[in-house]
Every structure is written in C-alpha cells, then in structure tokens.
Structure 1
C-alpha cells in the first residue's frame, strides 16, 4: 500500500517515515510538513493511505481530507496530540485516530486496520472504532451514523436498547429511536454499568427509567419503562433486576 505522511513537527514526521518504512506491506511515497503540500502530493501521487497530523500550517489534517474527492479519497489515519477531533475524523471515515505519544505496537495496529479495510471493506464508516475512541476519552455519548451525517447521543437521553438483527435500536426518553450498527455485547461494554443493566440477551435498560417489574410464573419477567414500553427480563437476570430496585 502506497502511503503519504504529513506532520509539521520534524521529529514526528521522521518517526512516521521510519514506522512506515519498517512495515513490509507499505511504500512511503511522500512526507509533507504542511497541509497544503499534503493535498498537492495526494492529488499528484495518488497514495492509498494518508497518515496525517490534525494541526498543520496551510490546512489542517481534517481539511486535507475534506477537499479530496470522496470517490477517490485514500484511507486515512490521524496521528495527533489533540484528542478533541475524533468525532470529526471518523465522520470523514478515518480508519483510526492515534493520540500522541503512541508506541510502535499501537501504530502497527492502526496500519493493520488500514490494510484490512483495503482488502475487505473499502473506505467506510468505522463506527465501532469511533466508540472505542470516545470511550478512551471518557465521552458519555454514542456516535451513530445517520445517512451521511454523524449523530452524538448522550447516555442520559437513552431509556432502553433492544437488538435488531445486526443492529441495535436505541429508544430515547423523548420517544425518538436511533438505529446503530453494533452488537448488544459491544453496547453493554460501552454503556456504564452504574446506569444501565442488561436484562435480557436482547435488551438493556437505563435503571433510573424503570417504572415497575412484573414477574411471571415461568420465572421470567417484564419491566415497565417510564416511557410506557414493556421490556422482557430473562430468568437469569430477574433476581439481579429485583435487587437493583430495592
């Protein structure tokens, strides 16, 4: 894979060059110290992967990607000391978002993700990786792709979640719903256990939104949510739900 790197810090740029050259499946085609040159060299050389700093003279890394034609846009990894641009980066379909300082192993993981994306998927939203970055930064929001835009849903707005084939349906307190491509297991890890509970293999609820619990003779149960929804409770989770309501 042909790679262009860009960073306005000389030492950081040299490090990126060395790391790319050390990967057997990558070819370094250009190293740029500003955003304007990165755009020019990308259009001229047609690299398949860009590794960009965010804050650079001439154009930011985000601006570099934004001005490139979407139909011919390379894969992108952002490598930056700034942790407040992750949402924008993944809205541009970034493969990964590296926070400086990072070690060689973390960099190789990002490169391997790029190679895998190129082989199997082609450029596209990497929603699960974005959730990981938000989690690392302590963000209490979910990032959901809706059409061509990115929507951030605060945890506090969520009433309950149910599985929907390869997606999850997020029910909000105001009655709206959002569909997110993720597994229930992934979402269970992402949502804080102090505020959310897995009550069934197909359902997670916000504990402060539980209005009541009704047990059945079969050993299962039904939770009545404050918004009026009825959510199933499995046999294995029923005792846990009862304890949480005491």
Structure 2
C-alpha cells in the first residue's frame, strides 16, 4: 500500500518534524511540503495527494479556509495539526476527524497514521464520509471562533479583559449588564439581548429575562414552587429560573450529568 502525502504548515520546525516521520514509513510517498495556505490549495488541486497534514493556524489563509476552498468532494483524507487547546479539539473528536496537537510524540503520530491507513484502505465511500466529517468539524470550529472569548471592561481610564470562562453569571440592568465573577462584579454598557448573542450557547444560558448563567459554574439545580427551579452557582449565588425556560432547564440538567440536587 502506497499513500501519497502532502505536509502543510507555516512553521518550518513543525513541518520538517512531520516530513521526517513520514519518510520513515515505507507506505508513504511524500509529494512535497507547503508553508502557506495558497500554495497548499495549488498543490492539492494539481498533485491530488491522498493524504494531507494540514496546520489550522496559518497567516493569510488558515487550514480551515484551505479545506473550504478545495471543497468536500476533492478534499483528501486530512489530519489537522493544531495548537488549539483541548476544548477546541473536541470539535474534531466529535466528528471522528484525525488530528495532532503540537507538540506531539512519535507514538501519537504513529497512532494517527494507522487510523488514516485504515480509513484509506476502506475505499472511496469512507473517503467521502471523511470529507463530510472534516467540513462538519470545521463548521463547529467556525461557530466557536464567532463567539467572544474575552470581554473588555472599562475601569476609569483603563480597560480590563475578562475571560468569559471566569464569568459566573450576568444580570441585566437597563441598558447595562452586571458581570459577576467569583471575586467581584463589573458593569458594562450593553443590552442583555446583544450580549447573549455573542456568548457560546453551549456554555451560557439565559435562565430568566434578566439573568444569564455560565453552565460550567452550576453547583446544583433544585425544583421550586409552581414549576420554577432555583439554580445554585459555585459562588453560592442562587438564581430563580423562569418556568418558561424548560428547554434550558433540560440542557442544564444534562450538562450536570442529570443531577438536580447537591
């Protein structure tokens, strides 16, 4: 079995590491290497490799843009090479797409290459499925990138950036919002409706018209009167959930492993 491969990475050290490992494998025929997205598109279109090691974070044209430009039907089997944290990598895991996180070991590389060979030996149908999975993973990452990761807060003449992961809950206050952290509260001029659109819905939920919570900071959810529920955050704050937020409640319970009490 001979597999033609292309390596795409703007970092020479990372690119050469993959090239070196591929050259140790007698089943791989290395077609070349590219240091940017534009040359990668050209090489994929004209050299038709069966396998591409594709860096996601490249200037000018990212790995995601390379895959989108080629399209699902023509995109070869792809191993994404990324420095993303594990949170982002779950997008690939959910779609069964192969990936390598920098820095990777020889053993991790070998395991990835074994999976790729198995997929390619399964035939064209598996290749088409893989292409669909690649685009699904890319779409998941695009949606993640569209959501804010930090919020700028003006304090006197200074601007402080708050990581959204540090937010416990958010309270509406007219045309401003109060952002509550474990160690204090900050106010910013923005409406609740505008802010909720910018937050990742997998991690933030509007449990009341005047309250957004960070799902990952929930300690417990308790039933209350007349179909209401009370959410207890890890800071000790208790928030009433509107009885009209039934879908939100089900998602919160699922996120907490099905437990509604401490």
TM-score under structure 2 length normalisation: 0.48
Q: How far is the alpha carbon of 1:86 from its aligned partner?
A: 3.3
Displacement over 3 Å in runs of 4+: 84-91, 152-156, 175-178
Corresponding residue of 2:89: 86
Corresponding residue of 1:174: 247
Matched, 1:47 2:49: yes
Structural mapping, 1:1-246, within 5 Å = 1-83=3-85, 85-86=88-89, 95-120=97-122, 121-122=126-127, 123-124=129-130, 174=247, 195-196=256-257, 206-208=258-260
CA change 1:60–1:94 in 2 (3 A) is farther
In the alignment, structure 2 segments of 5+ residues that lack a partner are 142-164, 166-200, 204-214, 217-244
Please provide the CA RMSD for this pair.
3.8
Contact 1:7 1:52 in 2 (8 A): yes
In 1, the alpha carbon distance for the partners of 2:84 and 2:98 equals 14
In 2, the alpha carbon distance for the partners of 1:38 and 1:5 equals 9
In our comparison, the structure showing a higher alpha carbon Rg is: 2
In 1, the alpha carbon distance for the partners of 2:250 and 2:46 equals 44
Contact 1:62 1:88 in 2 (8 A): no
Give a deviation string over 1:80-130, Cα, whole Å, max 9, x none. 223365366579x67312111110110111111111122223243669xx8
Q: How far is the alpha carbon of 1:68 from its aligned partner?
A: 0.5
Q: How many residues are paired up?
A: 153
Give a deviation string over 1:51-104, Cα, whole Å, max 9, x none. 01112233111111110032121011111223365366579x673121111101
